[in-house]
Amino acid sequence: MSTRPGAAKPAARQAARERLRALDADARRDASARVCAHLAAREVVLRDAAARVGGGEPVAMLYLPLPGEVDVEPLARQWLAAGWTVCFPRVGWGSGAMEAAAIAAAGGLDSELEVSEHGVRMPGAACRGVEIGRVGVVLTPGLAFDTHGGRLGRGGGFYDRFLSGLAPGARVIGVAFSAQVVERVPIEAHDRIMDAVVTEQGWWADGVGPAD
């Protein structure tokens, strides 16, 4: 008898955490820089896609990395300097909702963030919320991904709920170390499939990759 995808997720998460623990700090730092370089190389294409969704304004939601995640903060600074509206997740722990909140400038990464009661960095109350329908690119972390765009999150459902509200045409990109990419992750009906997954080795889409 096959295991239901939902029942298989706890073991898959544990295996993913063990793979992440095997990466040392130097490896994570070097791989993060290479991931950012791959994303920067497609900045024009992503900008055009985001602008079509945002009514001419390129809006992206990145993330503030938890320990062990790919660090995309250098990319956030680059995109802010290039004229993007850059948002980060702001979580309502009681409601279970997550919204995109914009920072005003690159300096906001140093001055506009606060640490929640759960120890997670996020935009402060003064940062303006951005309508989800205007977000054209979402860089999405996770514990594991597969080469067809499947994503295994941490189990809170915040990204699942957020991604379900995006406008048609929004690009959802999984961001990971190559050690996090497996043949298949357990997928349920509510799980959003990534349009592509980018690692330090390159891009994966529809089972094909890694490509520059």
Q: What is the mean pLDDT of residues 158-164?
A: 94
- Tallying the residues shown for the chain, one arrives at 212
How does the average pLDDT of the chain come out, rounded? Answer: 93
The whole-angstrom separation of Cα 108 and Cα 95 is: 26
The whole-angstrom separation of Cα 5 and Cα 20 is: 22
| pLDDT confidence bin for 107, thresholds 50/70/90 | confident
Q: What is the mean pLDDT of residues 141-165?
A: 94
Rounded to two decimals, the pTM is 0.93
